[in-house]
Amino acid sequence: MTRKLLFILLCVFALLIGIYPLMYAFVEPKHTFLATKTPQILQNTIWKTAFITHIVFGGISLFIGWRQFGIKFRNKHIGLHKSIGKIYVGCVVFSAVSGIYMGFYANGGFIAASGFISLGIIWLLTTCFALSYIRKGNISKHQQLMTYSYACTFAAVTLRLWLPSLSALTGDPVKSYLAVAWLCWVPNVIVAHFINKQRLKSRKTALQL
């Protein structure tokens, strides 16, 4: 029951934040993340292209990725599972690469930049390796790496939970942002590790029965 509730919460957050990029079509830039950027960066065509690429494709990967973890859905609609997976991988590649580029311009200097760049690299690698393993027919490794991949994707949600919470607690949005550059994804990856560990344990128990 607890597991189902957590999965439902994950889905709700993924869907809500997945449509977040639409905000930029209706809200003035001064009321968004763009207001924190200098005029020089906002006039940089490459950065603006990377930003749009990152939020649009990242939003799509978040919006559709959760569906891949439903066992019943996956077994019943394997063709659709594969199609969604291909879209997910493509979106992650575009969003991760553009995110890595944007990381070099992150507010907060080296600490924030290294956090977001590390996230982008791990996100990209886990997704690409997951694709490689499924092509080799190694379903177990594919599932493990996709769990890590979506943990990184879900950083879009946890960032928006951590930042206002820490800012309210500390009263220091700047230092909170530095911490969130790491907090938005490191705990997610740790949780993914324990999920994979539990899944592997369950499989071994099933084989022994």
Segment 112-158, tens digit of pLDDT? 999 999 999 999 999 999 999 999 999 999 999 999 999 999 999 99
Segment 172-197, tens digit of pLDDT? 998 999 999 999 999 999 999 999 99
Q: Tell whether 9 is covered by a domain.
A: no
Q: Whose CA is closest to 72, among 4, 145, 128?
A: 4
Secondary structure string (H, E, C) spanning the chain: CHHHHHHHHHHHHHHHHHCHHHHHHHCCHHHCHHHHCCHHHHCCHHHHHHHHHHHHHHHHHHHHHHHHHCHHHHHHCHHHHHHHHHHHHHHHHHHHHHHHHHHCCCCCCHHHHHHHHHHHHHHHHHHHHHHHHHHCCCHHHHHHHHHHHHHHHCHHHHHHHHHHHHHHHHCCHHHHHHHHHHHCCHHHHHHHHHHHHHHHHHHHHHHHC
Q: Tell me the C-alpha distance between 153 and 157, whole Å.
A: 8
Distances (CA, A) of 178 to 100, 109, 113, 170: 16, 9, 9, 13
| pLDDT higher than threshold 70 for residue 103 | yes
Q: Tell whether 29 is covered by a domain.
A: no
Structural domain for 80, as ranges: 37-208
Segment 20-36, tens digit of pLDDT? 777 777 677 777 788 88
Q: Tell whether 26 is covered by a domain.
A: no
Q: Tell whether 109 is covered by a domain.
A: yes
Q: Mean of the per-residue pLDDT values for the chain? A: 90
Contact between 47 and 9 (Cβ < 8 Å): no
Distances (CA, A) of 127 to 150, 174, 187: 9, 31, 18
Mean pLDDT of 36-45: 90
pTM here is: 0.88
**Tally of structural domains, the chain:** 1
Q: What residues contact 129, with CB distance under 8 A and at least 6 apart?
A: 141, 145
